[in-house]
Amino acid sequence: MKHYLSVNDIDSLPMWVSEAITLKQNPTAYKDLGEQKTICLLFFSNSLRTRLSTQKAAMNLGMDVMVMNFGSEGWQLEFEDGVTMDQGKAEHIKEAAQVVSQYCDVVAIRAFAGLKDKEKDEAEVVLNGFKQHASIPVVNMESSVGHPLQALADAITVKENAITAKPKIVLSWAPHPRALPHAVPNSFIEMMKLQDAEFVITHPEGYELNPKITAGCTIEYDQAKAMENVDFVYAKNWSSYSNYGAILDTENNWMITQEKLGSAKFMHCLPVRRNVVVEDAVLDGSQSLVLEQANNRTFAAQIVLQKILESL
Ligand code: CP
C-alpha cells in the first residue's frame, strides 16, 4: 500500500479488522518491521488520541518517531503554484514535502477543515500537497473531509462488540456549541458501506452531509424512530454542509441520553462534551465503548503502518 488517505485504501476490511484484533494479543509481534525506519507526524491541528496512538503504533513496530506541531512551530506554507511569495508565507509545499521526505520513510498529516470555504476544504490542499510533492507514503491523521484511522478503529470496535452478524448501527447528530467539521461522520459512513450492517443516519433537517458520501444510505429525521431496535449508537456533531460551516440548531433535544440509548452500545470518537453531546450516565455506564474506540486507535494505526512498511 502506497498511502492511507481514505477508507477506500482498505483492500479488505474483514481481513484488516481480524489482523488488528489478533495484533492486540501481541502488539510488538512485528517489532523488526520498522527497524531503521522513521515516521514523521505533522500536526497542523490539535490532537490527543491521534498523536499518541499513532506514535504508540509506530513504536510497537520498532519505528523511530518524529513529531512536529507544524501549525504553530513550522513556517507558514504556500500551496499555490506560481505565486510571488512576498506576503506572510515563508515556505512552499514543494520544498517542505521534499525536505520531510529526506528525513523519514513515512509522513502522517493532520489538517482540519477551515469550514469557511467548501471548495478549498474539499481540495484537501495540505494532504494532497504532501501526496503530490513527497516521495514517501502519506497517512491521513484527519484531513478536511476524512478521518480514516478513526473509522478503522470504529470498525474494529464494532466487530469486537457485535452480538449479531448484521447489527443495526445509527449515526446520530448531537448538539455542540462550536462548528465542527464533517471528517469523522464522512469516514464513518464510508466505513459503514464496507460493513455488513443495517445503517441509519439521523440528524435535524439542514444537517445533510455531502450527498456524494451519503448516497445509498438511509436518512431518518426522527431520532427516536431511527433508534428503534438499535445495537450501536454513534454520536457526532457536525456543522451544516449546505450552509457550509454553520450551526443551525443548538437545542439539546438531540443529546444522547440513557433513556434514548436503551440497551444499545454507545460510540463516540472523543473528545466529547459531557451533558451536551451525551449525558454523564451514558459515558459513565457499561454500555459506553468510547475508551475501547480510543484504545483501538493504536491497532488501527498499527495495521496501516504495517501494510505500508511491508510495501516499502
Ligand atoms: N478522535 C480523535 O481523533 O481524537 P484526537 O482529536 O484527540 O486526536
* pLDDT tens column, 97-113: 999 999 999 999 999 99
Q: Are residues 96 and 190 in the same domain?
A: no
* pLDDT tens column, 159-178: 999 999 999 999 999 999 99
Whole-number Å distance, alpha carbon 270 to ligand 1 midpoint, is 6
* pLDDT tens column, 258-298: 999 999 999 999 999 999 999 999 999 999 999 999 999 99
C-alpha cell belonging to residue 138: 502519506
- Asked if residue 85 has its Cβ within 6 Å of ligand 1, the reply is no
Q: Are residues 160 and 213 in the same domain?
A: yes
145 pLDDT above the threshold of 70: yes
Q: Is there a domain that residue 260 lies in?
A: yes
Q: Is there a domain that residue 2 lies in?
A: no
User: If you average pLDDT over residues 152-160, what whole number do you get?
Assistant: 98
Closest CA to 140 of 124, 155, 154: 124
* pLDDT tens column, 3-16: 999 999 999 999 99
- Asked if residue 296 has its Cβ within 6 Å of ligand 1, the reply is no
User: If you average pLDDT over residues 71-77, what whole number do you get?
Assistant: 92
Q: Are residues 84 and 156 in the same domain?
A: no
Q: Is there a domain that residue 241 lies in?
A: yes
Whole-number Å distance, alpha carbon 57 to ligand 1 midpoint, is 15
Closest CA to 295 of 15, 93, 20, 12: 20
Q: Are residues 305 and 281 in the same domain?
A: no
Q: Is there a domain that residue 1 lies in?
A: no
- From the number of C-beta atoms within 10 Å of its C-beta (0-12, 13-18, 19+), residue 164 rates as exposed
Residue 250 pLDDT? 65
228 pLDDT above the threshold of 90: yes
How many percent of the chain have pLDDT more than 90?
Answer: 98
Give the phi and the psi of residue 256 in degrees, each rounded to 5.
-80, 125
249 pLDDT above the threshold of 80: no
- Asked if residue 90 has its Cβ within 6 Å of ligand 1, the reply is no
Residue 30 pLDDT? 97
User: If you average pLDDT over residues 56-73, what whole number do you get?
Assistant: 96
State the binding site for carbamoyl phosphate: 47-50, 75, 110, 147-150, 269-270, 297
Q: What's this model's pTM, rounded to 2 decimal places? A: 0.98
Residue pair 219/172 in contact by the 8 Å Cβ criterion: no
ipTM: 0.99
Closest CA to 232 of 249, 214, 256, 215: 256
C-alpha cell belonging to residue 270: 472523543
Q: Is there a domain that residue 192 lies in?
A: yes
Q: Are residues 105 and 169 in the same domain?
A: no
Confidence of residue 71 (pLDDT cuts 50, 70, 90): confident
Residue 1 pLDDT? 79
- Asked if residue 50 has its Cβ within 6 Å of ligand 1, the reply is yes
- Asked if residue 289 has its Cβ within 6 Å of ligand 1, the reply is no
206 pLDDT above the threshold of 90: yes
252 pLDDT above the threshold of 90: no
Q: Are residues 232 and 274 in the same domain?
A: yes
Check which CATH number belongs to the domain holding 118 and give it. Answer: 3.40.50.1370
Q: Based on the structure, what is the number of domains in the chain?
A: 2
Whole-number Å distance, alpha carbon 124 to ligand 1 midpoint, is 19
Closest CA to 172 of 214, 211, 212, 220: 220
Q: Are residues 165 and 114 in the same domain?
A: no
Q: Are residues 120 and 156 in the same domain?
A: no
Residue 155 pLDDT? 98
Q: Are residues 45 and 178 in the same domain?
A: no
CA dihedral 211, 224, 258, 169 (to 10 degrees): -40
Whole-number Å distance, alpha carbon 85 to ligand 1 midpoint, is 33
State the binding site for N(2)-succinyl-L-ornithine: 142, 176, 236, 273
Whole-number Å distance, alpha carbon 221 to ligand 1 midpoint, is 27
Q: Are residues 267 and 204 in the same domain?
A: yes
How many percent of the chain have pLDDT more than 70?
Answer: 99
Q: Are residues 275 and 175 in the same domain?
A: yes
Residue 67 pLDDT? 98
Residue pair 149/305 in contact by the 8 Å Cβ criterion: no
Q: Are residues 69 and 184 in the same domain?
A: no
Q: Write out the residue range of the structural domain in which residue 210 sits.
A: 148-293
